[in-house]
């Protein structure tokens, strides 16, 4: 698909994954419109030098009239909906604000697209998460696994996930859903997440800390593989086997928190044993995804191993922390 001159809306483009996605689309020649709620001193828009390459609109994704105006005035043909309150700890402390953004923001966007009814509109990709699956005895999760997420963040993404597929079925809208593993890579400025925080500690000579007991397992997907998944999914939205469907994007290889931190330390070139705090709450012990559907239907597969992705990630943060 030729992205040149496609008019694309990216919500959440000032965040980690959204910033990489907006950069990739702009590099491909798309006319990118980004919706930003809070004006940050430094965000992914600055990180990727996007200020002069995209149209930035300040506002809330839950503002129905604003969304309709953006869709109409910019003749949006594709939408990537990544705007979310994505920090589990904040969701636990402030569920209402999380629900407002993650649930209301999703139905607002979907309903605005339905109401505008642009004949040239080609699709909306809604970002869900592996956490929507909740706790299952049988792993890995497949797209047919029940969505059982019950903690505030998890539940909010279950609702957004179901709403997206509801609009695909009830209104024949070109909608698809991504359920991603934990995404890591250079450009994640949220230092509460384990990868950037661990690298920051190493750069600054601080003690490596693990909030959990070190045993929880996740799969970790490199940012470039995650963005490739979004692009490939959008490029296949015209296929009946894609519309209304959810797709797992993952490495398919579970790694414990302790193993992950050890990979980070090894990649950095040090031999350090982290301090295990055992303080994490409301988090699922084991989560990892099957990615066979994305491989079979979309032809997508991760191109980076954990070692290769972490090598690029560590180098990025070394330069970033040195500079800032």
Distance CA 33, CA 100 (A): 22
Distance CA 321, CA 17 (A): 20
> Is 64 part of the annotated catalytic residue set?
no
Residues facing residue 289 across a β-bridge: 141
Residue where the block lists tokens 């015209």: 238
Distance CA 237, CA 19 (A): 22
Distance CA 268, CA 263 (A): 8
Distances from the Cα of 161 to the Cα of 103, 155, 249, 262, 282, angstroms: 9, 10, 15, 34, 21
**Residue 313 is inside which H or E element, if any?**
helix 306-323
Catalytic residue among 42, 141, 151, 153: 153
Q: Evaluate the omega torsion of the peptide bond into residue 140 and state whether it is cis, within 30 degrees of 0.
A: yes
Contact 131, 283 (CB under 8 A): no
Helices assigned H by DSSP within 207-286 = 223-235, 257-268
CA 6 from centre of chain? 22
Active-site residue set: 153
């Amino acid at each position: 698909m030729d992205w040149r001159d496609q008019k694309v809306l990216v919500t959440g483009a000032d965040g980690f994954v959204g910033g990489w996605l907006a950069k990739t689309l702009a590099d491909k020649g798309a006319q990118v419109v980004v919706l930003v709620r809070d004006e940050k001193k430094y965000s992914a828009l600055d990180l990727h030098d996007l200020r002069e390459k995209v149209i930035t609109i300040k506002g809330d994704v839950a503002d129905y009239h604003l969304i309709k105006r953006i869709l109409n005035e910019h003749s949006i043909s594709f939408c990537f909906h990544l705007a979310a309150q994505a920090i589990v700890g904040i969701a636990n402390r402030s569920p209402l604000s999380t629900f407002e953004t993650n649930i209301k923001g999703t139905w607002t966007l979907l309903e605005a697209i339905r109401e505008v009814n642009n004949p040239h509109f080609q699709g909306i990709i809604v970002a869900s998460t592996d956490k929507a699956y909740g706790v299952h005895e049988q792993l890995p999760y497949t797209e047919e696994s029940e969505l059982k997420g019950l903690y505030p963040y998890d539940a909010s993404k279950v609702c957004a996930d179901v709403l997206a597929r509801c609009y695909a079925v009830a209104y024949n809208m070109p909608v698809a859903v991504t359920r991603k593993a934990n995404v890591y890579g250079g450009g994640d400025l949220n230092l509460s997440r384990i990868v950037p925080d661990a690298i920051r500690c190493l750069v600054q000579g601080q003690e490596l800390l693990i909030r959990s007991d070190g045993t929880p397992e996740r799969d970790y997907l490199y940012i470039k593989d995650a963005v490739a998944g979004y692009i490939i999914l959008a490029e296949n939205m015209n296929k009946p086997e894609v519309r209304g469907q959810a797709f797992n994007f993952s490495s398919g290889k579970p790694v414990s928190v302790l193993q992950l931190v050890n990979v980070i330390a090894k990649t950095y070139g040090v031999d350090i044993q982290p301090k295990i705090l055992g303080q994490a709450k409301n988090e699922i012990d084991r989560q990892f995804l099957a990615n066979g559907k994305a491989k079979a239907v979309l032809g997508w597969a991760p191109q980076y191993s954990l070692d290769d992705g972490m090598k690029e990630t560590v180098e990025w943060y070394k330069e970033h922390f040195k500079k800032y």
